[in-house]
Amino acid sequence: MASPHDPAPRDAQRVELYHAPFTDGGVASLRLLGQLIDRHNLLLAVMTQLTTGVFLTGYALGLRASSTVIGLLAGVPFLVKVAQLYLSWWIERAGHWRRSALEGALLSRTVLLVAAVGPLVAGPGIGAWVLVAAVAGSALGATVFEMAFQTWMAELVPEASRGNFWGRRARVVGIAGLAASLVAAFGIDRAGHNGTPVLADFAVVMSIGALSGLAGLVFLRRGPSPRRQRSRVEPISLRETVSRPVHDLNYRRLLIFIGLWGVAGGIAAPFFVVYMLEELRLSFLVVTVLTSITAATVSLAQLYWGRLGDHFGAKTTLRTGTYVIALTQLIWLFTGPGRTWMIVIAQLLAGFGWGAYHLSLTNLVLKLAPSDARPSYLASFGAVQGLAEALAPVAGGLALDAMVRGGLSWLVSFQIMIVTSFVLFAIATPLLGNVFEPGGVTVGRMIRVMGRFRSMSIEYNGDFLFDYVYTHLARIADFVAREESGEKRERS
């Protein structure tokens, strides 16, 4: 029988979803929750693809935005995440993670309509700054949604199956986002005036994206509230909310990695689309196809990474992803007008690496965060990541404009930014070795175990690959990670 404090269910499905335990015996409940999340995420993926990336950059270029403004446009959504330090305190005191997530999403997706229409009304020049302001307002609501939603879901999905659960969700997201972006890009190319898209085309695409996100809330609001409504019973001060994650030595090491990695990834990221549109003169459809390769690969790979993370540890798969991401930066240096096919290779590898990174990083943060202070730990993660990924593209845009004014071509300046990004990635990657994950193993151990399972298969004679590929890859991973001592402790 329902407790008088339980949220009133609207139908029989919600009764089952709320009252069945979210453990191994609550498979039906998790399945129903997954269906609701899938429907919401499908529409959210459409919104994300149509209001960010290629279309947002194209809109900014149509509004005559400089590299600095484009960098600012890419960085503002992350800069707003710093507000999570206060918002986490507010959410922890008020509880009601479900309600906070829904209200944040409603604000974010409504303001996206302003981002779609406002610049069109303002016109080139001032319209670019209207776009930046509207994107910032939308990001504020999105950061409330993101933090509250993660806490909400962490209370419903068991830790042991989070990797597999969210890996399955990612497939739906990738397929929906890919289809929507291709259709929109084809429409923009066909509707363009003399081969050049007009501002109204981007406004229509972004409006459709915002309306799709709002429609997704119909499914999200059917999700149940968790039994535990608050992180704490006693009051908590704002100072304690901010300081507790920083005083956690292990978590502080993770934050240092997140900060440096965010700078490495953000310093050149917004300008890959500009490079393809302006330097390679590719159409919106071709650029969208190329960027969608990454999104599709991420969605397909995340189920695989999620299962590996559940078995070997989130940190292990996270490190593997960082190695791949760092190497893909160098491939871009060899692309050019006659070598656009190399972008396909870079995008495939990037999708494989980022699939591991995004899924594993979120799961690692949730695993290291104490259950009684999860919002504040998520807030410090979001603030550090947001600040790094906000300042990096702005700094990148300023550096690009400065190098061009100094006499370098835009292309050479961009290649310098790619090399800088690679160097920062190479510095950041080993820092993960200082983070301790309970139950996790080294990357080298994961590779060795996977290699042994393959070589033991009756249908697969993998002795050669195990001896000359898996073993050497494991040794390289151990050397880069500097975790040989950890391996010795595991054997003893």
Which residue ranges in the chain fall short of pLDDT 50?
1-27, 231-233, 453-470, 472, 483-492
CATH 3.40.190.10 is the classification of domain 32-439: no
Helix axes 97-122 and 126-156, enclosed angle (nearest 10): 160
Task: Say if residues 355 and 298 touch (Cβ distance below 8 Å).
Answer: yes
Task: Say if residues 475 and 405 touch (Cβ distance below 8 Å).
Answer: no
Q: What is the reported pLDDT for 215?
A: 93
Q: What is the reported pLDDT for 179?
A: 81
Distance CA 480, CA 273 (A): 31
Distance CA 41, CA 169 (A): 8
Q: What is the reported pLDDT for 13?
A: 38
Predicted confidence (pLDDT) per residue in 247-262, tens digit: 888 889 999 999 999 9
Predicted confidence (pLDDT) per residue in 146-205, tens digit: 878 877 887 777 766 666 677 666 666 667 777 888 888 888 877 765 555 678 888 899
Please give the model's pTM, rounded to 2 decimal places.
0.63
Q: What is the reported pLDDT for 92?
A: 65
Task: Say if residues 262 and 384 touch (Cβ distance below 8 Å).
Answer: yes
Distance CA 449, CA 453 (A): 6
The residue type of 248 is D
What is the CA angle 314-217-16, rounded to 5?
75
Q: What is the reported pLDDT for 9?
A: 40
Enter the tokens of residue 402. Answer: 């400065």
**Domain boundaries, given as residue ranges, for the chain:** 32-439, 441-492
DSSP per-residue letters across 261-302: HHHHHHTTTTHHHHIIIIIS---HHHHHHHHHHHHHHHHHHH
CA distances in angstroms from 241 to 35, 88, 126, 201, 246, listed in the order given: 34, 8, 39, 45, 10
Q: What is the reported pLDDT for 465?
A: 42
Please name the residues in contact with 95: beta carbons below 8 A apart, sequence gap of 6 or more: 229, 230, 231
Q: What is the reported pLDDT for 412?
A: 92
